[in-house]
Chains A and B, each alone.
Chain A
Amino acid sequence: MSVFFAALGGTILLASFAIGFGLLLTGIDRRVAARMQARVGPPLLQPFTDVRKLFAKQNIIPANAIPWLFNAMPIIALASSIAILLYLPFGSFAPVLGAFGDVILVLYLLIIPSLALVLGGFASGSPYATVGAQREMVSMIAYELPLAVTVISIAWRLHAAHVAEPFSMLTLMQTPVWDVVGPLGSTALLILLVVMAWVTPGELSKIPFDSPEAETELAGGILAEYSGRNLGLFALAQAVKTVAVAAFGIILLLPWNLSPFLGLTMVAAGIADLVFFALKVLFVVSISVTVVRMMMARFRITQVVGLYWLVLGGLGALAIFLLMADTSYVPGMI
């Protein structure tokens, strides 16, 4: 029973933190983007205003839509984005449900918000949303390969170094894979870092990978028919997912905590690590989302597949070979 209540409390706490932090990240992203274009930009809390407005607006269900599916998908998208967070360690805080799932489960959970978007798009009965949903499916299939390659090769390297439970999220956070590898392995990890930096905007459907939502040619694509509260729920889901995806990348490849360096303990360590983690999330989002989206134009969907499968998949394969070579020289330092 107490486990249940701990999980419930943890979920509520995490959900409110992630929604607030995610919306703030969106605000920072918009502000920084504006500054990069020599504009002043919106207030930092603009996304909060936007969501509040959307919740106060009329919620239209198109005549062509399948109402229950159309209305259920925004809720599922938000719920599943929050569910991802339950399996991720934040700073030195262990995941709420860490005992029940590992990195493979998180890989699957990461798909569900996008899947909810796809179903919602198909259920809206609009040709724009249908085309958007098809593109979203294609880009999901595309970025899944380099993402899986990254996860598997890191976990495999930890396994080769005889780390216990290499697939557990907590292990990944507490045993930075960089400490295990030799020089060849470090090169491989740098390559994987580049791969993850490209997977992140893809998962978040940001420019240059925003062809599912292409405003200019698809009128908002997958979200074209959504309005009011449902659109607001999708905005919240997107905010939470931004935190989750960035955190996932950080746990895989930038997992250090601050407290061991500062020699902090107990509460101070927890707070310092959490703040440091939040800063790392901000850093990842600024680089992988803001800078990339300001620099580039949108890829066509065929180019997305080519980039993810051939270029990044190829880089991932190279990284695996380097890690294998690394294992035979430096079987593990732990």
Chain B
Amino acid sequence: MKLTKALNRSLWAFHFNSGSCNGCDIEIVATLTPRYDLERFGVKLVGSPRHADVLLVTGPVTSQMADRLRRVYAQMPGPKVAMVIGTCGLSGGIFSTSYNLAGPVDQIIPVDVYVPGCAPRPEAIIQGVVTVIAKLERLEVGERND
């Protein structure tokens, strides 16, 4: 279980909707369209958390979804990264006063990168991916130093 250069150049993402309004999900799909073409950097959307390196979480985590989110995160093989997309996942957003809220996301699983916005533009999501890569590179250098 090592951080490698190969990981930074081949981030496979699994998309998890923890109760979002679907706005953020559509922006994720927009990020994968030919206009932005994240596959240039090896980013690919995969169908199973077992194949994934990055967990994209959208939405504020309803109490029904909290346990599922925990389990999906546990199912991913390490090293893994969790990325929250949308204000909802950061703070609850417009759902923050809801009776049915278990999170924001970082109450449930450890989060590495936050992308704010309601909904964030594809450019912001790409900025988030770049932040993930930068973080992994920093960690990789740290790992080599110890």
Contacts and interface: CB of A to CB of B under 8 A. Distances in A.
Interface of A: 30, 34, 37-43, 46, 49-50, 52-53, 56-60, 128, 214-216, 218-220, 223-228, 231
B6 A53 contact: yes
Contacts of B34: 37-39
The A interface is mostly helix, strand or loop, or mixed, namely loop
Nearest to A41: B39
B7 A56 contact: yes
* Best-surrounded residue of A56, A128, A218 (most CB of chain B within 10 A): A56
The 9 closest A-B pairs by CB, nearest first: A215-B47, A58-B77, A220-B48, A52-B6, A53-B6, A227-B50, A227-B77, A39-B37, A220-B47
A213 B122 CA distance: 28
A53 to B, nearest CB: 4
B2 interface: yes
The B interface is mostly helix, strand or loop, or mixed, namely loop
Interface residues of B, number: 23
B42 interface: yes
Interface of B: 1-2, 4, 6-7, 9-10, 34, 37, 39-42, 46-48, 50-51, 53, 75, 77-79
Contacts of B40: 39-43
30 contacts: A34-B39, A39-B34, A39-B37, A40-B37, A40-B40, A41-B40, A42-B39, A42-B40, A42-B41, A46-B10, A50-B6, A52-B6, A53-B7, A53-B9, A56-B6, A57-B7, A57-B77, A59-B77, A60-B50, A60-B75, A128-B48, A215-B47, A218-B47, A219-B47, A219-B48, A220-B48, A223-B48, A226-B51, A227-B77, A231-B51
